[in-house]
Amino acid sequence: MKHNFIKIFLFLSICLMLACGRTIIEDTVPSFTPPAFTSIDILPNNRVKINWYFDAYQEPLVKGFRIERSENNGSFQLLSDDITPNQRSIELAEPFRGGKVSFRLLSKTIKDTVASTVVSYFAPTVPTNAFCSAVSATLLQGVDKPNVYLSWQLEGNSANYAGNYIIQRSVSKAAFQTIGTTRNPFFLDTNTEVGVNYSYVVRLATNNCASNEVPITVTTQSVGLCPQNFKLSFLAGKDKKSVLLNWDAQLADFAKFYVFRKASESGVFENLTPTGIRTTVFEDKTELKAKTSYFYKITSQIESQPPTTCESPMLEIKNY
């Protein structure tokens, strides 16, 4: 009996050591794939936005991210260490100019820290805080050929700038040449040829801050300035009726419109909108005389040097 007890005790001891009857689960961490950078967006005011992809199923494996930055292949320096696992982008101040800037994202997992691949871009030598939005270039229909209309808007430290703008142009990738100056946030280049590639840059005269480079090829598919589909109709009011004017315009985004009216074919046109309007509809609520014909026309104008205008055909409406 004593011998049997000793055998049972030894058997149980060995089972405890060898885990008899138990399934052993190893303390392992599932395979981890670090985030992958997708793009760098260059923003105004010396800022960049960095975007990356990270599988949502791996978020529980990560305590957080931190982002590091390097200049011209130098050592990486910490920028931010409070990036959450569900974050997919970050916007950062980027004052560095004239060289290579690199970023990497470090994932703090349960066991260790894993680095992403490195993403880089070349910072321009000119700061990006001069212009709120990219300079836009539009092919505008001219008398005998298309013209290039440039427009822009300032922001940031230059928002109150009141000096000259210098417009520079490159023809077929040649060196940039100054083609004009203006104190207005727009410029019309009438010295163009169909089939030629042009690029434009706008600079501030005081500190040489420059816009983005705007490429454009002059083709015959230009945008017309003239009002189109001009229509007149009566609106019946409680006490009197008014005249509703409708028209279309391809340049409605940055054109002004002026409505003219006269009470006889031989009369003189009166400007009903002396300061101009930015919509393509207008209601004439002035008193209409009975048994009178009224004549209307629309003039559109874009701000350029000199101002560029186009006039609609005259339309008649009879108040009988």
Please name the residue that has the structure tokens 């008014």.
Answer: 242
d(CA 41, CA 49): 5
Pair of tokens at residue 153: 């808007």
Beta-carbon contacts of residue 320 (< 8 Å; ≥ 6 apart): 290, 291
Helix (H) or strand (E) segment spanning residue 3: helix 2-18
Residue 21's pLDDT is 46
Cβ–Cβ < 8 Å for 219, 195:
yes
Residue 263's pLDDT is 92
d(CA 138, CA 223): 8
The per-residue DSSP string of 97-126 comes to: -SEEEEEEEEEEESS-EEE---EEEEE-SS
Whether the full predicted model's pTM is greater than 0.85, yes or no, is no
Beta-carbon contacts of residue 180 (< 8 Å; ≥ 6 apart): 167, 187, 189, 305
Q: Walk along the chain (320 residues) and give the pLDDT tens digit of each residue.
A: 555 555 555 555 555 454 444 433 344 445 778 888 777 776 655 677 888 888 888 888 888 888 888 888 888 888 887 788 888 888 887 766 667 788 888 888 877 788 877 877 766 554 444 454 457 777 766 656 678 888 877 655 556 677 788 888 999 888 889 998 888 778 888 888 888 999 888 887 776 567 778 888 888 766 666 788 899 998 877 678 889 998 887 665 567 889 999 999 899 999 999 998 877 889 998 888 888 999 999 998 876 655 677 788 899 999 88
d(CA 154, CA 135): 10
Residue 239's pLDDT is 72
Residue 255's pLDDT is 75
Cβ–Cβ < 8 Å for 217, 193:
no
The per-residue DSSP string of 155-204 comes to: -GGGTT--S-EEEEEEETT---EEEEEESSSEEEE----TT-EEEEEEEE
Residue 295's pLDDT is 95
Pair of tokens at residue 167: 């417009």
Pair of tokens at residue 317: 């409406």
Pair of tokens at residue 207: 């500190």
Please name the residue that has the structure tokens 């589909």.
Answer: 229
Give the residues across from 202 on adjacent strands: 167
Taking residue 229's Cβ as centre, other Cβ atoms within 10 Å add up to: 10
- First vs last C-alpha separation in the chain: 130
d(CA 286, CA 243): 9
